[in-house]
Structure 1
Amino acid sequence: MEVVGTCGKTTLSSGQTSNKPSNITSIYDDDDDVVGFEIHAQIIMNELIRGTKERDVISIYGMPGLGKTTLARKVYNNPSILNYFDVKAWCAVSQAYNTRTLLVEIFKQATSNKIKIKEDDDVADMLRKVLIGKRYLIVLDDIWDVEAWENLGICFPQGECGSRVMVTTRIEQVAKHLQHHSDPYSLSFLTSEESWELLEKKVFRGESCPPDLLEAGLQVALHCKGLPLVVVLIAGIITKTEREASLWLKVANGLCSFALGEQSMKVIQSSYDHLEDHLKPCLLYMALFPEDHKIPVDDLVKLWMAEEFVLNIGTKNMEEACRVCMSDLLNRSLIMVSGMRYYRDVQYCSLHDVVREFCLRKLTEDKYMQLIVPYNPYQHLHSSESRLCIYIHDDLVKQLNDSNYQLDKIPMLDFKETNSLEFIAHPKLNVWNNQYSNPLDLVVKLRFVRALDLMDVELPDSWATAIQSLTELRYLALCVKQFELKWISHLHNLQTLRLKSSEKLRLRAATLWEMTKLRHVNIDCFSVAWEDNEQESSPTSLLENMKSFGTCNIRFDNMNARFWWRFPNLEELCLSVKDVPEFPYFPIVEVHSHLHFLSLEFPLIELFNSFGWERFCVFPSNLRHLDLAKCLLTEEMVLNIARLKKLESLKLFLGFPSMRSYCWDVTNVEFPALKYLGLISVQIEEWKASEESFPVLEKLVISRCYSFKEIPPSFADILTLRRIELFDCTDSLGVSAMNIKREIEENTGCDSLHVVVVKQN
């Protein structure tokens, strides 16, 4: 791909003293200019010098090892900062701190040690008096909680002098809580070029890298994954090795084991120790996924639920409680966002290699055994009874196999504990050991596992017999040719069922109604036919726990209209419909008041020859996200969408290049809550809209629209519009986007709209 235009504002995208583990900044201190921080430093200095005259808090947050303290130190020592502020002070707060001790340290720096402090002096009041009327800069390095700021911040007087407090923290929520005028600043990873520049600088001390080491050096830098701490630690290792490419490549290939030396281990350990007990197994579990794996958040939440890291706290709250845990780990910068949905929810997350290696070491040290305290938001954190669990890993699998599943014969287990021992399965069972090409041989020995993901291997027809004994399953993902619900109907605790098949499946819904604990069902196969015979089950049978339901290639002509009534609390529904609507998809739309996400794919060609089908596409009124694929945008269909007054995102994938183009006129139509609009392969030749059509739109994405010539000029009047992205579109469409940007700048004086144009090579 080639970016042919990127416009908009610059975005880079108790009586003891602090027990900070070790001064990591010291490993950078021999360089005045730290590679990769120049732009960050300039942005922070602008906030310090050119911002509001009122006192402001400048927060820098990010995961351990990114160089937050180093960046703050670089800014703090800059000559322009030295000359600008009347008073400067720096103190390290950390997890354990004493407020008086910190205030004494700040007071001494603020007065250059000219005023002696007695034991009974009110240091807080003395500090306030020293700072009043002065332009001061106070740095609070490594704050872990809001309470620390509340204890210290009251001593820093307000005023119109342009004073600043600069804070570094690992926890995003702390940074956001401290926000006054300036937005918290998220420190990003180094680019591969910056990583190499820093590595070269550290190893060769100002000299250039010899040509014969260049390729190996680049490989070492690349494997550092943009974390400055790792770059510097590795530089210290290879500086002491002979300058041979083969040795450097060996370091690169074994980087994780090298990188977690004493320094970095302490950095991650301090964050881990500060976690609430219920978050520790959630984090360690993520390390079982492969290196650099983008973990789907939806799947991870369901796995956490299955393993009971979160207690069963009711129909409505299990998923929400898991997402609170996810948010807590993100806020502590221990896990990373690696993909966002277009409506701004986190879709994928991942672990940095250093954090993952720490977690794997932690599991090994604990012999893969843990006392797990499940999360219950309605009780005190420590009021829940803990569970003794062991993570199934390669060594245990081998010993299980050798001992014929007799736990008292397994050397690594203390037999006294086996009566209460529970198993936590690897999220991807078939990566445990290559010798288990047929995982069924192993599965039959794991009678008490709660989660089993076999989606990556097509199982033989004997799979159903093998899984008969796994009565505790809560999560089951299968790839099979044949499937019947009755084969798993005895799994009364099952919460999640994911199914993939290359065959046509006929499923009896009567069995489905018996599985009352099901929350998430996703069936991806050639075709699904539901047989719903009300004579075999009560017509009032409900699956009140069902939250999400999805099938690929489903036919509606064989489904009773009452089918959807059985899921009154459904929140997400994804269907690929293979027949033209002949009756309402939602006969009584009020039944699905909880439905917030709907994805529908229509049989496009059949719609051309059908009339009046739109009247069957009246959707539940509380929808917030709607995806429509291969659907004709007739006037009536557009009005059906516009009736959704809470709709925040709309994505339309409408056809093929061979379709005829048409005019899409929404001049007199309003989408009052729509923030995101995505148009993919739409055959619109002309688009008409007024400024009232999309009053709160924030982001417009257009992709592969070859007949599309112009974005409506009225988009320049949308005050909330912040981003337009064009992928593989006509040049004239890009020109119209830039015209809108230019008009917004002229009318408002603000460079608030970002325009991104991407062309396929």
Structure 2
Amino acid sequence: MTKQSIQGMEVVETREKGTLSAGEPSTKRSITSIYDDDEVVGFEKDAEIIMKKLIRGTKERDLISIYGMPGLGKTTLTRKVYNNPYIADHFDVKAWCAVSQAYNRRTLLVEIFKQTTNNEIKIKEDDDVADMLRRVLIGKRYLIVLDDIWDVKAWEDLGICFPQGEYGSRVMVTTRIEQVAKDLQHHSFPYSLSFLTSEESWELLEKKVFRGESCPQDLLEAGLQVALHCKGLPLVVVLIAGMIGKMDRESSLWLEVANDLSSIGLGEQSMKVIQSSYDHLEDHLKPCLLYMGLFPEDHKIPVDDLLKLWMAEEFVLNAEKENMEEASRVCLSNLLNRSLVMVSGMRINRDVEYFSLHDVVREFCLRKLTEDKYMQLAMPYNPFQQLHSTESRLCIYIHDDLVKQLDHSDYQLDKIPTLDFKETNSLEFIAHPKLNTWNNRYSNPLDLVVKLRFVRALHLMDVLMPNSWATAVQSLTQLRYLAIYVRDFELEWISHLHNLQTLQVQSSKMLHLRAATLWEMTKLRHVNIDCLSVVWKDNYEGSFEECSTTMLENMKTFHTCHILFDKMNPRFWWRFPNLEELSVRVDYVPHEFPLFPILEVHTRLHTLSVDLTVMNFRQSVGWERNYVFPSNLRQLHLASYFLTEEMVLSIARLKKLEILTLKGGVRLMIFQSFCWDVTNLEFPALKYLTLLGMQMDEWKASEESFPVLEELSIVDGYTFKEIPPSFVDITTLRLIKLSDCAKSLRVSALNIKKEIEENTGCDRLQVVTIL
């Protein structure tokens, strides 16, 4: 993480919508300034990188963009570089203007023109400023800063006035929207500004509070706590420093600030920064962001769960049924591009697995949600309404204060003071995504749930539900998302929930579920049943051709434990023609019943995980001869199997496979040696290969076997001695990760790295060893 600072920060982002701020940054104190001296803290590495982009590289005009969430110091970094004497000497002319979303093109061009001409040429009202500016810049090496751009159109309006030429001219742009930075890319890649580390936060806080002096020892621990709770956002560090700098220097007072930072330390100015971004969001994105604020502080929100909750709440506007997931992903991507959410976990293939909110953004969301007596007017959030419908959705989210009020009012909605309207039955309630706060106060959250008949999403995985749960949900006919932890479960108990899209069940018992009931729930999109064992029963005993034609066309993901492969198999999987993800643990694998008897049905399946139970491991011998995978798989996980020649050939036929995880198995007998030889096979699209506890003695491969492999991970690798030497010739390989592996395996990885460096002169391969 790079070092950053807040030198002379002027928060341009806090200006009101529609106003315009232009001109070179001034060292003069202003009402928007939150830092009023000239001391420099950090940004050295960031500034060095940006300066190299300005001075080196192409002789053609280039655009250097810096993006990140509000308050990270984009303007500060840009100003530091802009004012650097070396940069000032390198360029013939410089100009700086701050662009708001509601900018005036002529006003901005006039400001740039004045700076490039030192205000020596007067501009008349009818002058063509764009043409005048273009003529002034022709033949010169210029540097133009466009601070706080919101969309590409602003660049299209202004950029045509900046001549090309091969003089090494540069335009610097700051934006809070990642996609804008990417769309503006010319030669240089956009630069993402990172958060401060805890050490950097403390350095900045100490310099601001003590004006260059050292912190007294008795305040050191409290000061470190304050800095830590600023969570790396420079804007918050400076705001807090300004506050505690005026307080008595007592550690107890500072610790109070640290403990209450989320509520009292952020300051209204920081809220204005977030408010500005929020105001410019499309209407349907606003509830998506606010909903994330309901999760606990620092919570890593699983992307898959979040998207399903958004769909259940109907936040995704005007999306076709089969495209709801993709539309939800676009919404999340839009929030990420605006730097309002943060990536907090990635999958092996660089897909985002977890998101989170910075505390500043979360605090803003909570304040927004609690406005107007906890009620939220959505306009409109129903995808089945017209985009410009005048109908609104009136909803209220389930928060702790509401729980208290319901309890004191004997759960009579019309007696709650905050609900001062007559038609309480028209309310649509949004359940809190995490109910851990309820668990400490109420032994049975169902007492509250049953009173909220319009609730659409219930996530109750954090507490074991009493046996009465099924009766309690009978009245919740609007449920679209249900995640529960129960002892007993029957599909019949929830079959009346005709709108249900997502079903997650966790149980420690063996469940016997009737598949016939599943076919009735036609709106199901995502099913995950995590139990000791699941036995799917079907009363129908006819042949495949004679079975019912009921299809669950909306089903996208299906995850279940311990399933039998038998004569029911064709009738079961055939009903999910649009399945995209499938994960199963197999109890019994008779040779005559393959997993996919009709391959052409599952053309959309891209992720498959098959795990054989240890007790049935040896029964699977010979089954792989009938095992043919759907051709469009991109991700495959196989566990506890025999890696026979037939199985490897089936995997190699998958021309789109990008991720392959092989776990355990291989040897038919304990003392039998095994060589995994793929010398004559090619995995043309495979980028990520993970081997977990592979029981093989030798691994052979040619340079054509894995032509585009990027990452190799080996866990518990003690039986084979080396990685195939041909890996030296894989030009895309950038990471080998070894965990609990034999020393000889580690040596072979380092030898590959050394040979690559000697052959190419580049240190492109990283070897990570975890003992």
| Matched residue, 2:8 | none
Q: How far did residue 143 of structure 1 move? A: 0.7
Rate the CA distance shift 1:325–1:16 in 2: closer, same or farther, 3 A.
closer
| 1:118-148, Cα deviation, whole Å (9 max, x unpaired) | 1111111111111111111111111111111
| Matched residue, 1:223 | 229
Structure 2 counterpart of 1:184, one-letter code: P
Structure 1 counterpart of 2:575, one-letter code: R
Q: How far did residue 26 of structure 1 move? A: 3.8
For 1:256, what is the secondary structure of its paired residue?
helix
| Matched residue, 2:263 | 257
| Matched residue, 2:469 | 463
CA separation in 1, counterparts of 2:617 and 2:182?
50
CA separation in 2, counterparts of 1:568 and 1:154?
51
CA separation in 2, counterparts of 1:379 and 1:91?
42
Q: How far did residue 304 of structure 1 move? A: 0.6
For 2:154, what is the secondary structure of its paired residue?
helix
For 1:91, what is the secondary structure of its paired residue?
strand
Contact 2:18 2:102 in 1 (8 A): no
Q: Map of 1:234-633 to 2, 5 A cutoff?
A: 234-311=240-317, 313-373=319-379, 381-383=387-389, 385-416=391-422, 418=424, 420-432=426-438, 434-534=440-540, 539-557=548-566, 559-582=568-591, 583-604=593-614, 606-608=616-618, 610-633=620-643
Structure 1 counterpart of 2:119, one-letter code: N
Contact 1:498 1:523 in 2 (8 A): yes
Please say if 1:667 is aligned against 2:679: yes
Structure 1 counterpart of 2:736, one-letter code: I
Please say if 1:757 is aligned against 2:771: no
Structure 2 counterpart of 1:310, one-letter code: V
| Matched residue, 2:9 | none
CA separation in 2, counterparts of 1:574 and 1:247?
53
CA separation in 1, counterparts of 2:598 and 2:31?
62
For 1:701, what is the secondary structure of its paired residue?
strand
Structure 2 counterpart of 1:115, one-letter code: I
Rate the CA distance shift 1:32–1:738 in 2: closer, same or farther, 3 A.
farther
Q: Which runs of no fewer than 5 residues in structure 2 stay unpaired? A: 5-16, 24-28
CA separation in 1, counterparts of 2:318 and 2:547?
27
Q: How far did residue 15 of structure 1 move? A: 9.8
Structure 2 counterpart of 1:271, one-letter code: S
| 1:340-386, Cα deviation, whole Å (9 max, x unpaired) | 11122111100011110111011112322222245689998535843
Structure 2 counterpart of 1:30, one-letter code: D
Task: Identify the structure with bigger relative contact order (alpha carbons < 8 Å, sequence gap 6+).
Answer: 1
Q: How far did residue 446 of structure 1 move? A: 1.2
For 1:143, what is the secondary structure of its paired residue?
coil
CA separation in 2, counterparts of 1:286 and 1:382?
25
Q: How far did residue 262 of structure 1 move? A: 2.2
What is the TM-score normalised by the length of structure 2?
0.92
CA separation in 2, counterparts of 1:162 and 1:216?
49
Contact 1:61 1:185 in 2 (8 A): yes
For 2:655, what is the secondary structure of its paired residue?
coil
CA separation in 2, counterparts of 1:172 and 1:659?
54
CA separation in 2, counterparts of 1:392 and 1:615?
54
Please say if 1:113 is aligned against 2:122: no
For 2:158, what is the secondary structure of its paired residue?
helix
Please say if 1:34 is aligned against 2:41: yes
Q: Which runs of no fewer than 5 residues in structure 1 stay unpaired? A: 1-9
Q: How far did residue 644 of structure 1 move? A: 0.7
- 1:727 pairs with one of 726, 731, 739: 739
For 2:76, what is the secondary structure of its paired residue?
helix
For 1:299, what is the secondary structure of its paired residue?
helix
What is the TM-score normalised by the length of structure 1?
0.93
Q: Percent identity?
A: 77
- 2:78 pairs with one of 68, 72, 78: 72
| Matched residue, 2:14 | none
CA separation in 2, counterparts of 1:631 and 1:78?
63
- 1:645 pairs with one of 636, 646, 655: 655
| Matched residue, 2:20 | 17
Rate the CA distance shift 1:12–1:180 in 2: closer, same or farther, 3 A.
farther
Contact 1:455 1:477 in 2 (8 A): yes
Contact 1:532 1:560 in 2 (8 A): no
Q: How far did residue 708 of structure 1 move? A: 4.1
For 1:569, what is the secondary structure of its paired residue?
coil
For 1:566, what is the secondary structure of its paired residue?
coil
Rate the CA distance shift 1:102–1:756 in 2: closer, same or farther, 3 A.
farther
Point out the more displaced range, 649-658 or 416-425.
Answer: 649-658
Please say if 1:698 is aligned against 2:710: yes
Q: How far did residue 155 of structure 1 move? A: 1.0
For 1:316, what is the secondary structure of its paired residue?
helix
Rate the CA distance shift 1:549–1:199 in 2: closer, same or farther, 3 A.
same
Point out the more displaced range, 544-553 or 362-371.
Answer: 362-371
CA separation in 1, counterparts of 2:695 and 2:18?
71
Contact 2:596 2:628 in 1 (8 A): yes
Number of aligned positions between the proteins: 748
Point out the more displaced range, 360-369 or 702-711.
Answer: 702-711
Point out the more displaced range, 207-216 or 327-336.
Answer: 207-216
Structure 2 counterpart of 1:516, one-letter code: T
Contact 2:484 2:505 in 1 (8 A): yes
Q: How far did residue 642 of structure 1 move? A: 0.7
| Matched residue, 1:195 | 201
Rate the CA distance shift 1:56–1:23 in 2: closer, same or farther, 3 A.
farther
Q: How far did residue 706 of structure 1 move? A: 2.8
| Matched residue, 1:713 | 725
Point out the more displaced range, 614-623 or 713-722.
Answer: 713-722
- 1:676 pairs with one of 688, 692, 704: 688
Rate the CA distance shift 1:18–1:433 in 2: closer, same or farther, 3 A.
farther
Rate the CA distance shift 1:707–1:278 in 2: closer, same or farther, 3 A.
same
Say what the alpha-carbon RMSD is for the aligned residues.
2.6
- 1:208 pairs with one of 207, 214, 236: 214
| 1:587-610, Cα deviation, whole Å (9 max, x unpaired) | 011110110111111134643465
- 2:100 pairs with one of 89, 94, 108: 94
